[in-house]
Chains A and B, each alone.
Chain A
Amino acid sequence: MTQKIVIPHVSRIEGHAQITIDLDDAGRVADARLHVTQLRGFEKFTEGRPYYEMPAITARICGICPVSHLLASVKACDMIMAVQIPETAHKLRELIHYAQFVQSHALSFFHLSAPDLVLGMDFDPAQRNLFGLAEKHPELAKDGIALRRFGQHAIELMAGQRIHPAWTVPGGVNKPLSAESRDAIRTGLPEAFAIARRALGNCKVLCENFPEEIKSFSNLPTLYAGLSNEREELRIYDGKIRFRRPDGSLAATVENAKDYANYMGEAALSDSYLKAPFFKPLGYPEGIYRVGPLARLNAAKCCGTPEADSELLEYRQFFGAMPQSAFLYHYARLIEIIWSLENMQRLLDDPQILNTSVRAHAGVNCDEGVGIIEAPRGILIHHYKVDENGAITWANLIVATGHNNLAMNYGVKQVASHFIRNGKVSEGVLNRVCAVIRAYDPCLSCSTHADGRPAVRIDVRNADGSILETLSTSNDK
């Protein structure tokens, strides 16, 4: 008898997804799939809009990382205008980018995943959330809220509001940073560092509690893609995309932003609104690659800042030169927080950050623009084509998490196979299947989940496929 297990919605991620697990006659996992259940069509409905509206419109792709879309979008617009933005504008865009990394990564670790890592994968589902964390570990919850607040407040001080700000514009930013705001952000840095260091310390200890998860969370060698500079140091605003193999050798360097399409193709799947990017030289689906914190730290040689590099060294000593288990995204993410804070310190201490020349002005000088940055969750690409009036004729967006689609699907199958034996499935096991997705910290752009169907629905089928009975559990508390 085969069974189909449905997890109607994967909780504590951005966006919505459903997971299905198929068991064979022996109660072993035959397949497990991640279905992303939402589509809004930004690539189509922005046709005809003026290019300079794209930042504000595409910011609304995501409320956790709107700054990512804003930056990728304005970089594409810069190219359409054929401008080089002022040096200070460049630094300010970088500053808001680092602030965003801090708040987004803090959200992922504390608000979304800490309930699993600290309370436990098998903890009571009604309490296994930020509020349960606040009750049982108030200091940890306070830390998470404070670290996220630091990043959000820095964004607010620079850009005027925390979510969907209008500050980053084609040509630069639309107002300089005041000394008061600079000082206000800088005063928050020591506490932010302290919290990040505490979290990193906790994470190192926590890793010892999850050997089975480390073994089974997308534990496979893949290509790793990330931005780095000419010294192959980690970069998130500038830099070139590099694809690195598990043995450490470089598979490709994308020399010009416009060349991304030579290396990245997108395949459509039958059972998900999320497409599956793949590394073109290896074809689909062999060209599986990953992005995001784990991948970035593998694709780059080092971070380029002292404390982050010291942490990176320790991380690699423990887990190898090219760690591959998706569980370690959590550890990598925290190293990136330290790295971001170090960079914020550097920029805030730079007197040039207060310069008032922050915007270049131009019209349409080029009919195509590509903006590539690293969003917290991975490489983000905005590619626009415009007519002579600057109206969008074509747009292509490859959004961060999308690159991880094949790897996430691999992960759910691997976790399910590891923990499900003889058809025995507990709530804790299903939570682990969700937890591998959470490790990727996906940004599924607000898919919605299914309706209020039972928490788990198991169709028990006969050999001929007909349903013998349907078992369902309810998660009502």
Chain B
Amino acid sequence: MPATLQLHKVKLATAWLDGCSGCHMSVLDLDEVLLTLAPRIQMVYGPLVDAQEYPDAVDVALVEGAVSNQDDLSLIYKIRAHSTLVVALGDCAVTSNVPSLRNSIPVSRLLERVYLHNTEGSRQIPTDSVPKLARNAVPLHEVIKVDVYIPGCPPPPAVIASVLTQVLDGSRVELPIIAKFG
């Protein structure tokens, strides 16, 4: 198809904050459907592509993971500022889920336990070139306005496919009945 006849490709960005990448794997679990959607999408940022800087104008951002440290915070603000639609993908982004299990523990105690109690040969708490942990791991909507929530740990591929197709078609997004937490 000549370039002039190509339809506008939706600029899609993905990101994983404090999560496990399972929601991204669930996106990949669309299997061959990914290849059918691919011509309508331009993946401009995310763990699966090599862009180092968040682009200026993103149509849809799929974000998994809770906001847990300074880097997460900077990135989610950037994502919100430069994306038309922000989708909280998965329970960590929607409710902060497993990452928030650390919230009852002071950060200093967590760091001591991991780096001073269970180590030998070299005992120190990393501070150089690593982001500081926030007091709590929180869901996306505690920090930014979220447009669409997809619950699940991870959300089933069929739910993700349904939402993606609605977004690509430009429809108002409605979650299919099979969507659930956990």
Contacts and interface: CB of A to CB of B under 8 A. Distances in A.
A21 to B, nearest CB: 12
Interface stretch (B46-54, B140-148, B161-169): B46-54
Contacts of A267: 119-122
Contact of B75 (A43, A268, A452): A452
Interface stretch (A56-64, A235-243, A334-342, A412-420): A56-64
Contacts of A284: 120-122
A402 to B, nearest CB: 12
B34 interface: yes
B121 A446 contact: no
A131 B46 CA distance: 13
A128 B98 contact: no
Contacts of B75: 448-452
18 contacts: A35-B130, A41-B114, A43-B118, A57-B98, A63-B23, A131-B43, A148-B28, A161-B156, A162-B29, A163-B26, A164-B153, A450-B74, A451-B71, A452-B78, A453-B53, A454-B53, A475-B51, A477-B44
Nearest to B112: A44
Contact of B24 (A33, A45, A63, A445): A63
A11 interface: yes
Interface in A452-476: 452-456, 474-476
Contact of A283 (B121, B127, B130): B121
B102 A41 contact: yes
Nearest to A452: B54
Contact of B126 (A61, A63, A66, A270): A270
Interface of A: 7-9, 11-16, 18, 20, 33, 35-41, 43-46, 57, 60-64, 66, 107, 111-112, 125-126, 128-131, 134-135, 138, 141-142, 145-146, 148-149, 152, 161-164, 265-273, 275-276, 278, 283-285, 396, 431, 445-446, 448-456, 474-477
B21 A14 contact: yes
B99 interface: yes
B21 A454 contact: no
Contact of B29 (A45, A163, A270): A163
Given A37-B71, A445-B20, A45 B122 contact: no
Contacts of B105: 41, 44-45
Contacts of A18: 129
A141 B36 CA distance: 12
B179 interface: no
Interface string B96-112: 01110110110001110
A7 B129 CA distance: 12
A7 B21 contact: no
A167 to B, nearest CB: 15
A270 B124 contact: yes
Which residue of B25, B69, B119, B153 has the most chain A CB atoms within 10 A of its CB atom?
B25
A266 B29 contact: no
A38 to B, nearest CB: 7
Contacts of B47: 11-14, 16
Contacts of A431: 50
Nearest to A451: B74
B125 A268 contact: yes
Interface of B: 16-26, 28-29, 31-32, 34-35, 38, 41, 43-44, 47-56, 65, 68-69, 71-72, 74-75, 78, 97-99, 101-102, 104-105, 109-111, 113-116, 118-131, 133, 137, 153-154, 156
Contacts of A269: 122, 124, 126
B28 A11 contact: no
Contacts of B56: 476
Contacts of A126: 44, 49-51
The 7 closest A-B pairs by CB, nearest first: A63-B22, A451-B74, A284-B121, A455-B52, A267-B122, A271-B128, A267-B121
Contacts of A36: 130
B120 A60 contact: no
Nearest to A144: B28
B57 to A, nearest CB: 10
A13 B23 CA distance: 15
Contact of A452 (B53, B115, B123, B130): B53
Contacts of B43: 129, 131
Nearest to B157: A162
Contacts of B130: 35-37, 271-273
A268 B99 contact: no
A454 B106 CA distance: 33
B18 A448 contact: yes
Contacts of B32: 142, 145-146, 149
A273 to B, nearest CB: 5
A64 B98 contact: no
Contacts of A57: 98, 101
B119 A266 contact: yes
A450 B28 contact: no
A267 B133 CA distance: 20
A145 B31 CA distance: 6
